[in-house]
Chains A and B, each alone.
Chain A
């Protein structure tokens, strides 16, 4: 009985965390797309040249993700301060999920995120920014539920190690996806 209640509370807290993260992702998407919309209003003919430039940058980062060259990935090595999440069962979940969910304040290990945000800027479409930001946020937040069955600290460590073992695969997949995106953006606007 007690275990069921504890699990229910964990599930509620995880959902608060996931929703906060999703909303933060959507906020980032809207903000970046709105900035792009503003630039497009000022310089209406900039979209295609910006898309082609983004294609070239995406190709460079494809090579980076595949380990063929090394480039700096824009991001910060900042972490949510412990004192921010020490109080409030749900409030701490909102603060942690919300802060990390923006994507741009904490560490960015994959170039897919900055290229994705740059694409939102080039699109200059707030509706696309909102929906793509929601897609990003939901998929990023969903991993919290993979820890639902963990009960001991060693279970969490083991789960974390399993997730980390996918990192080389994710880098390779990011490289292929960025190469496809870059090639498309380089050629499609001039076809």
Chain B
């Protein structure tokens, strides 16, 4: 589904907005905690994604 969405400008914008909403959701959902706590979770997700993505180096 991501592949199909990625092919049109509207699809790209939808993916960008979806990502933004996710980030805002996590930020507001973890209010009261130190902001570094949420950043650690998201940072580890980035680490995993960076590792897997490098496999498809195109």
Contacts and interface: CB of A to CB of B under 8 A. Distances in A.
Chain B at the A interface: SS class = helix
B16 A63 contact: yes
A164 B58 contact: yes
Contacts of B31: 191
Nearest to A134: B47
Interface residues of B, number: 44
B35 A113 contact: no
A137 B52 CA distance: 9
B52 A140 contact: yes
Contact of B54 (A103, A132, A183): A103
A79 B33 CA distance: 43
Interface in A147-190: 163-164, 166-189
B54 to A, nearest CB: 5
Interface of B: 2-3, 5-6, 9, 12-13, 15-24, 26-28, 30-31, 35-36, 38-40, 42-58
Interface of A: 25, 48, 51, 59, 62-63, 66-68, 103, 107-110, 112-113, 115-116, 119-120, 122-123, 128, 131-133, 135-140, 143, 163-164, 166-189, 191
